[in-house]
Structure 1
Amino acid sequence: MLIKVYGSAVFGVEATTIVVEVNIDRGIGYHLVGLPDNAIKESNYRIAAALQNNGYKIPGKKITINMAPADLRKEGSAYDLTLALGILAASDQIKSEKIAQYLIMGELSLDGSLQPITGALPIAIKAQEEGFKGFILPKENAKEAAIVGNLEVYGVENIKEVIAYFDEGKPLARTKVDTRKEFQESLNFPEFDFSDVKGQESIKRCMEIAAAGGHNIILIGPPGAGKTMLAKRLPSILPPMTLHEALETTKIHSVVGKVKNMGLMSQRPFRNPHHTISSAALVGGGSYPQPGEISLSHNGVLFLDELPEFERRVLEVMRQPMEDREVTIARARFTVTYPSSFMLVASMNPSPGGYFNDPDAPVTSSPIEMQRYLGKISGPLLDRIDIHIEVTPVPFEKLSEEKKAEPSVEIRKRVTAARELQTKRFKVLEHVHYNAQMNTKQIREFCILDDASKALLKNAMDRLNLSARAYDRILKVARTIADLEGTTDISGNHISEAIQYRSLDREGWLG
C-alpha cells in the first residue's frame, strides 16, 4: 500500500515541502531514498523502538520510503514522526484518511516522546501558503509556529497522541496565539538603560545619532571607560520593531532553534560574539549553511568587543554583507541568502596596553606599537563605519553623582521621530528605510549642501585625506543630525559635528 505524508526542509530562511512516500510490499527490507543524511538514515532504529514501546511495530515486509523531491538534500532528525506515521498508515495499523491534510514534523525519543525541531516558523508559513489544514509538531515549538494565522497548530508530547488523533479521532489541543496582542504587550524596554550611565554625554549623543540613522559606530578608549556598558544599552533607544521586522527576525532565530517556547521576538537582538570566532560562525556557513552572528543580529545590534583582537580575515568577510545588508553562501549544488541588516557597534583600545598617551598609565605603548595595533583593522572596513568616537574615563565627580541621567525612553522618542522623517523621505524607495542605507545616488539627492558647508567639507577632506567613502559617511551622519533637529536642510553645524566623528581619520591622532 502506498501512503503520502508531508514534512518540510528549511533552506536559508525559507521552507520547502517534502513529500514522504511510503510503499509496503511483499518481501523483506527497509529502503530509504531521496538524499537523506545520516541522521535520517538512522531514524529506523528510533522509530522501531518508539513504536514497540507504544504497542505498535514496523511490519516485517519490504518498506520503500522516498523523500521527494529526490534531488534535494534532506538533513536532521525532524522527519522521525513523519516517517513513523507513514509506516503505520501504509501498513494499515492506523487510519490514513486525514493524514495528507497535515504537515507533520518531530524527532522521536525511544519512548515515543517528541524532541523539539528547528525552523518551525518558516515551516508553518510554508504550510499556510500551500493550503495545509494544520501543522503537527513537538509541544515546545507550538507557540513559535502558532504565530502564523489561519493554520491549525497542534503541539504534541508523544506519538501516542498523534496516533489517537488519526486512528480514534481523539482531539488534539490546538495552540492559539494572538500575535498582534502579544507583540504589543511585550514592547517593553530591556534591563539596560542609559539612565545608569554616569557622564559620557558626548558619547550618548553619538549613540543617539547612530540609532537615529542606523549608523555603524566604533568606540575607542582605555579599559574601564564604559565602552561595553554603552554598547549594551544601544538597543534600548532603537525604535520598537515593527510586526514585519519581528517576524523576519524570528524566522532567522527559528532556523537555529533559538525560539523554543518563546513565540514572536519583540526585542531587537543584541549579539556579542567572542573575538576567537571563525568566519563561518560570524557570517554563516558550514556543509549545510546556517545563519551566522551577522544574520542573528538582523534588525538589531552586532557588538564586536576589542575589534583588533578578531582575526583580520574574519573581519574582512564582513565588508560585503555590511554594504549589501545580506550574506550569500554558495555551495556546489545550491546558494543560500540570509538577511543581515544590522547596526555594527565595535569597541577597541587605542593601543595594545589599552592606554592612550597617558604617562600615568600602568602600561604605555610607543607610537609604532600603536600603529601596528591599529593596522590590524583594514582601511576599507573602517571606511564602512560611519562614526568613530573616543571614549575617555569618567571622572570621580561624575561617578559619585546621585542624579540619574536621561533615561532611554526619552532618547528613544527623539530617535523614533527622526526615523519617521526618514521613512517619509524614502517611502518610494523599496530597500531604503533610514539614512545609513542610502547609496551614492541617494546621498546626492537628499544631502544637498550650501556653499559654506561645501567649503567646510572640502577643507576637512583635504586636511584629513579622507576617502570618497568617508565623504559619503560624513554626509549621511550630517543628514541624521539634521533629522534629529527636525530641519530639512543640512547646515555647516551639522557638517562640522559629523566631521568630528571620524577620529581614526585624523592625522596626528596617534600623537
Structure 2
Amino acid sequence: MLTKVYGSAVFGIEATTVVVEVNIDKGIGYHLVGLPDNAIKESNFRIAAALLNNGYKVPGKKITINMAPADLRKEGSAYDLPIALGILAASGQIKSDLLEHYLIMGELSLDGGLQAVKGALPIALNARDQGFKGLIMPKENAKEAAIVKELEVYGVDELIKVIHFFDKDVPLERFHVDPDSLFDENQFHSDNDFADVKGQESIKRCMEIAAAGGHNIIMIGPPGAGKTMLAKRLPSILPPMTLNEALETTKIHSVVGKLASTGLIHQRPFRSPHHTISDVALVGGGSYPQPGEISLSHNGVLFLDELPEFKRSVLEVLRQPLEDREVTISRARFTITYPSSFMLVASMNPSPSGYFHDPDNLMNSSASEIQRYLSRISGPLLDRIDIHIEVTPVPFEKLSEERKGEGSAAIRKRVVAAREIQTGRFCEESTIHYNAQMNTKQIRKYCDLESHALKMLQQAMERLKLSARAYDRILKVSRTIADLAQEENISSEHILEAIQYRSLDREGWLG
C-alpha cells in the first residue's frame, strides 16, 4: 500500500514541500531514497523503538520510502515523524484519510517524545502558501510557527497523541499567537540605555547620526574609554522594527535554531563575534550552508571589537555584503542568498600599545608600528565606513556625576523623525530606504550644496588632506545631520560637522 505524508525542507531561509512516499509490499527490506543525509538514514532505528514503545511496530515487509523531490538533498532528523506516520498508514495500523491536509515535522526520541526542530517559521510559511489546513510539529516550536496567520498550528510533545489525532479523532492542542500584539508589547524593551553613559556627548551625537542614517561607524580610542559600552547601546536608539522586518529576521534565526521563547524577534539583533572567527562563520556557508554572523545581524547591528585583531581575510569578506546588503554562497550544485542588511559598528585601539601617539609616554608605540597596525584594515573596507570618531577617556568629574545623561527614548524620537523624512524622500526608490544606502546618482540628486558650503568642503579637503573617498561619505553624513535638524537644505554647519567624522581619511593619521 502506498501512502503520502508531507514534510518540508529548508533551503537558505525558504522552505520547500517534501513528499514522503511510503510503499509497503511483499518481501523484506528497508529502503530509504531521495538524497537523505546520515541523520535521516539513521531514523529507522529511532522510529522502530518509538513505535514499539507506544504499542505499534514496523511491519516485517519490504518498505520503500522516497523523499520527493529526489534531487533535493534532505538534512536533519525532523523527518522522523512523517516517516513514522507514513509507515503506520501504509501498513494499515492507522487511518490515512487526513494525512494529506497537514504538513508534519518532528524528531522522535526512543520513547516517542518529540524534539524541537530548526526552521519552524519558514516551514509554517511554506505550509500556508501551499494551502495545507494545518501544521503539526513539536510543542517547543509551536509558538514560533503560530506567528503565521491563516494556518492551524498544533504543538505536540508525544508521538501517541499524533497517532490518536489521525486514527481516533482525538483533538490536538492548537496554538494561537497574535503577532501584532506580541510585537507591540516587547519591541521597546531594552536593558541598555544611553542614560547610563557618563560624558562622551560627542560620541553619543555620532551614534545618533549613525542610527538616523544607517551609517557604518568606527570608534578609535584607548582601552576603557567606553567604546564597547556605547556600541551595545546603539540598538536602543534605532527605529523600532516593522513586523515584516521582525518576521524576516526571525526566519534567519529560526533556520539556525537560535530563537528565544517568545517565538518572534521584536528587537533589533546585536551580534558581537570574537576576533578569532573564521570567514565562513562570519559570512555563512559550510558543507551544509548556514547563515553567518552578518546574516544573523540582519536589520540590526554587527559589532566588531578590536577590528585590527581580526584576520584580514575575514574582514575582506565584509566588503560585498556591506555594499549589496546580501551575501551569496555559491557551490557546485546550488547557490544560496542570505539577506545581510546591517549596521557595522567597529572599535579599535589607535596603536598596538592601546594609546594615542604621545612622545612623552614610555609605553608609546613608534610611528612605524602605529602605521603598520592601522594598515591591517584595508582602504576598501574603510571606504564603506561613513563615520570615523576618536574616543577619549572620560574625566573623573564626569564619571563621579550623579546626574544621568539623555536617555535612549529621547534620542530614538529624533532618529525616528529623521528616518521618516528619508522614507518620504526615497519613496520611489525600491532599494534605497535611508541615507547610507545612497549611490552616486542619489547623492548628486539629494545632497546638492550651495556655493558657500561647497567651497567650504573643498577648503577642508585640501587643508586637512582628506582622501578622495571621503567626499561622498561626508555628503551622506551631512544629509543625515540636516534631516536630524529637520532642515531641507544642507548648510555649512552640517558640512563642518560631517568633516569631523573622517579621522582615518587624513593622510599620515597617527592618532
Distance 2:225 2:168 in 1: 66
Distance 1:214 1:361 in 2: 38
Give the equivalent residue in structure 2 for 1:21. 21
Shift of 1:468: 4.6
Give the equivalent residue in structure 2 for 1:125. 125
Give the equivalent residue in structure 1 for 2:103. 103
Letter in 2 for 1:223: P
Give the equivalent residue in structure 1 for 2:198. 198
235-244 vs 182-191, which moves further: 182-191
- SS at the partner of 1:344? strand
Distance 1:5 1:320, change over 3 A: same
Give the equivalent residue in structure 1 for 2:48. 48
- SS at the partner of 2:135? strand
Distance 1:72 1:79 in 2: 14
- State whether residues 353 and 364 of structure 1, in contact with CA within 8 Å, keep that contact through their aligned partners in structure 2: yes
Matches within 5 A, 1:60-71: 60-71=60-71
Give the equivalent residue in structure 2 for 1:73. 73
What is the CA deviation profile of residues 219-245 of structure 1, one whole-angstrom value per residue up to 9, with x for unaligned ones? 000000000000000000001101111
Distance 2:211 2:178 in 1: 30
Shift of 1:507: 2.9
- State whether residues 275 and 305 of structure 2, in contact with CA within 8 Å, keep that contact through their aligned partners in structure 1: yes
Letter in 2 for 1:46: R
Shift of 1:362: 6.9
Unaligned runs of 5+ in 1: none
Distance 1:370 1:208, change over 3 A: same
Letter in 2 for 1:275: H
State the superposition RMSD in angstroms.
1.1
Letter in 1 for 2:291: P
Shift of 1:401: 0.4
Distance 1:308 1:262 in 2: 36
- State whether residues 6 and 102 of structure 1, in contact with CA within 8 Å, keep that contact through their aligned partners in structure 2: yes
- State whether residues 20 and 83 of structure 1, in contact with CA within 8 Å, keep that contact through their aligned partners in structure 2: yes
Distance 1:258 1:470, change over 3 A: same
- SS at the partner of 1:118? coil
- SS at the partner of 1:329? strand
- State whether residues 140 and 260 of structure 1, in contact with CA within 8 Å, keep that contact through their aligned partners in structure 2: no
Shift of 1:439: 1.1
Matches within 5 A, 1:142-221: 142-221=142-221
Give the equivalent residue in structure 2 for 1:91. 91
Letter in 2 for 1:197: V
Give the equivalent residue in structure 2 for 1:324. 324
Letter in 2 for 1:453: A
Distance 1:440 1:25 in 2: 67
Shift of 1:260: 5.1
Letter in 2 for 1:144: E
Letter in 1 for 2:243: L
- State whether residues 47 and 110 of structure 2, in contact with CA within 8 Å, keep that contact through their aligned partners in structure 1: yes
Matches within 5 A, 1:27-46: 27-46=27-46
Give the equivalent residue in structure 1 for 2:357. 357
Question: Does residue 1:241 correspond to 2:241, yes or no?
Answer: yes
Matches within 5 A, 1:383-394: 383-394=383-394
Shift of 1:462: 3.3
Unaligned runs of 5+ in 2: none
112-121 vs 357-366, which moves further: 357-366
Distance 2:328 2:228 in 1: 30
- SS at the partner of 2:175? coil
What is the CA deviation profile of residues 359-380 of structure 1, one whole-angstrom value per residue up to 9, with x for unaligned ones? 6757321111111111110011
Give the equivalent residue in structure 2 for 1:460. 460
- State whether residues 467 and 507 of structure 2, in contact with CA within 8 Å, keep that contact through their aligned partners in structure 1: no
Letter in 1 for 2:231: A
Shift of 1:466: 4.3
Distance 1:4 1:221 in 2: 62
- State whether residues 354 and 363 of structure 1, in contact with CA within 8 Å, keep that contact through their aligned partners in structure 2: no
Distance 2:323 2:293 in 1: 16
Shift of 1:419: 0.4
Give the equivalent residue in structure 2 for 1:281. 281
Give the equivalent residue in structure 2 for 1:6. 6
- State whether residues 6 and 18 of structure 2, in contact with CA within 8 Å, keep that contact through their aligned partners in structure 1: yes
Distance 2:448 2:359 in 1: 45
Distance 1:340 1:360 in 2: 45
Shift of 1:357: 2.1
State the identity as a percent.
Answer: 77
| TM-score (norm: length of structure 2) | 0.98
Matches within 5 A, 1:365-384: 365-384=365-384
Shift of 1:83: 0.6
- State whether residues 141 and 261 of structure 1, in contact with CA within 8 Å, keep that contact through their aligned partners in structure 2: no
- State whether residues 118 and 256 of structure 2, in contact with CA within 8 Å, keep that contact through their aligned partners in structure 1: yes
Shift of 1:458: 2.0
Letter in 2 for 1:112: G
Give the equivalent residue in structure 1 for 2:255. 255
Give the equivalent residue in structure 1 for 2:407. 407
What is the CA deviation profile of residues 345-394 of structure 1, one whole-angstrom value per residue up to 9, with x for unaligned ones? 00000011101124675732111111111111001101100000000000
- State whether residues 212 and 419 of structure 1, in contact with CA within 8 Å, keep that contact through their aligned partners in structure 2: yes
- State whether residues 142 and 261 of structure 1, in contact with CA within 8 Å, keep that contact through their aligned partners in structure 2: no
Distance 1:329 1:389 in 2: 33
Distance 2:260 2:16 in 1: 21
- SS at the partner of 1:333? coil
Distance 2:81 2:361 in 1: 63
187-196 vs 277-286, which moves further: 187-196
- SS at the partner of 2:474? helix
Letter in 1 for 2:131: G
Shift of 1:461: 3.1
- SS at the partner of 1:78? coil
| TM-score (norm: length of structure 1) | 0.98
Distance 1:6 1:464, change over 3 A: farther
Matches within 5 A, 1:330-341: 330-341=330-341
Q: How many residue pairs align between the two structures?
A: 511
Distance 1:132 1:43 in 2: 25
